[in-house]
Structure 1
Amino acid sequence: MHESKVLERIRNNETACGVTLHLHDPSLFEMTASLDYDAIWLDLEHHSENGVHISELIRATRAGGQTDVIVRPGRGEFARMARLLEVGAHGIMYPGCTSVAEAEEVVRWAKFAPLGSRGFDGSNVDSNFMGRPMTEYLEWANANTFVIIQIEDIQTVELAHDIAKVDGVDMLMLGPADLSVRLGYPGQMDHPMVAEAQRRVVEAAQNAGKNWAITTRGPEHARQMSEAGAKLVFQGADVVFIKNALVNAIREFRQS
């Protein structure tokens, strides 16, 4: 299993670029990894997949290139996180965190001691199938896996500074869609209250010496966020790209 491409970018003071894949076909993951993306966001909060298929998707990504897979489990699925890492995920994106204690629990399940208390197995792909000595494997895993905590309600924005200080939390990320819904302005990602929440999350991360991630609306927005200090930008999703292409194709045909 390769070293984290996202963390390599960050250590070189560069911004990593990721894409969301909702269509869970292994060939799509393999193709995307061959296209120089730094990360693929695999969402299991809103999509149901069994462990075998998840393993196949991550394996296909490895076959395609050196792209990290960042998996978002459902909220509270703590025990699932170690298994996701063991089949080859580099990142855990935890949704809807509401407290410092919850962020600490995420770290306990995702990181080995001394950062957390993740259980040791060592027989899966993340340890090269028992190919790494135990001490080396533990150090490698903590250095090449990362935790992203998503903040998705205004009450938790108030706690962002304290959450960012949790040892083992690597990045903060606002969930603007859910936040806009909970604020009563669904879909208004540029609403002043959403923008202010984003500013406060970024400030919390920076004050704690942590990084921040963000979803973006396209290449220009991604560049702007990179220049603003984001170290991980997610630029689009497969369903959006495909739908836009299909809509444009049929529209052009009907107008011809």
Structure 2
Amino acid sequence: MKSSNCISKWKSGHPVLGVTLHLTDPALFELTSILGFDVIWVDMEHHSHSTETVSGLMRAARVGKSDLLVRPGNGEFVQMARLLEAGANGIMYPRCSSVEEAKMAVHHVKFPPKGGRGLDASGPDARYGTLPLVDYLKSANEGTFLVVQIEDEMGLNAAQEIAEVDGVDLLFFGPGDFSLQGGFPGDFKDSRYWEALDRLAVSAKNAGKRWGTPAFSSEHAKKLLDMGAMLITYSSDMTLIRKRLTEIMNEFQALGFRFS
């Protein structure tokens, strides 16, 4: 499979920037990857994409530089191996709240001796069976990454122990669900948001692992980078389109156009 752009940059000490794509036109994935974004985040937790659809989108993205980071639903452990076989560079496991859950995720994304992933070796990640098995197993274990998402107080309390699990490569703070469950939904100026981020950053550092989280602006991203974040995601195609369409409507309303 294509070597991971993110892993290469992390090994060199550089952070990576990703964008979320929800629309399922392969041309959008081609364009984003050709532009050179480090990683495209594909969300199968909250969207109805089939594995077949996502496989085609990942194939389109392989013309460029972008890694593919795919998030299945919580507990969908078997799905993770299928996504890796289809060419995902990374898996984001959501709503992790315990060491046991993190270990289960590792078990399904890593081959023995690190995990217990089942062997097929006939998909694009194995170059459709043309890659020697020894080389395939090595690249699959060392050339892919597991991101574990912390989204509640229970997960945050166990964050360092989760990060210390062999095979967990990066902690990712989910601010939306954390703020919702914490009683300050969407208010990322609340001190509890920054306190939680700091706790996660310290937990990752103590475990010798990287961490990341979404940024809401370049200024916000600068603060996160100063805290040591190594994976920053920014916005999504739907959000960017909605914002620009709203701007167009506002601009043309000033000329007398009316929108129903």
| TM-score, normalising length: structure 2 | 0.96
Q: Within 1, Cα distance between the matches of 2:224 and 2:156?
A: 19
Determine if the alignment matches structure 1 residue 43 to structure 2 residue 43.
yes
* 1:2/1:66 contact within 8 Å kept: no
Separation in 2, partners of 1:202, 1:227: 11
In the TM superposition, 1:136-147 aligns within 5 A as 136-147=135-146
Please give the secondary structure, in 2, of the residue aligned with 1:34.
Answer: helix
Q: Which moved more, 1:111-120 or 1:216-225?
A: 216-225
- Supply the distance in 2 between the matched residues of 1:226 and 1:114 (Cα, whole angstroms): 34
SS in 1 for 2:92: strand
**Amino acid of the structure 2 residue aligned with 1:36:** G
Aligned to 2:14: 14
Distance in 1 (alpha carbons) for counterparts of 2:151 and 2:86:
28
How many residues are treated as equivalent by the alignment?
A: 255
- Identity among equivalent positions (%) equals 44
The offset of 1:50, in angstroms, is 1.5
Trace 1:18-33 onto structure 2 (pairs within 5 A).
18-33=18-33
Which residue is equivalent to 1:148?
Answer: 147
What letter corresponds to residue 107 of structure 1 in structure 2?
V
Q: Which stretch of structure 1 is more off in the superposition, 219-228 or 135-144?
A: 219-228
Cα distance, 1:89 vs. partner? Answer: 0.4
Compute the displacement of 1:221 (Å). 2.0
Q: Please list every run of 5 or more consecutive structure 2 residues that lacks an aligned counterpart in the other structure.
A: 256-260
The match for 2:175 is 176
Provide the rounded CA distance (Å) in 1 between the counterparts of 2:169 and 2:128: 26
Shift of 1:219: 2.1
Partner Cα distance (1:125, 1:234) in 2:
26
Tell me by how many angstroms 1:12 deviates. 0.8
Task: For residue 120 of structure 1, give the secondary structure of its aligned residue in structure 2.
Answer: coil
* Alignment RMSD: 1.0
Distance in 2 between residues matched to 1:98 and 1:253, nearest whole Å: 48
CA distance in 2, matches of 1:127, 1:66: 19
Shift of 1:24: 1.8
SS at match of 1:123: coil
Q: Give the corresponding residue for 1:56.
A: 56
What is the aligned partner in structure 1 of residue 161 from structure 2? Answer: 162
Structure 1 unaligned runs (5+)? none
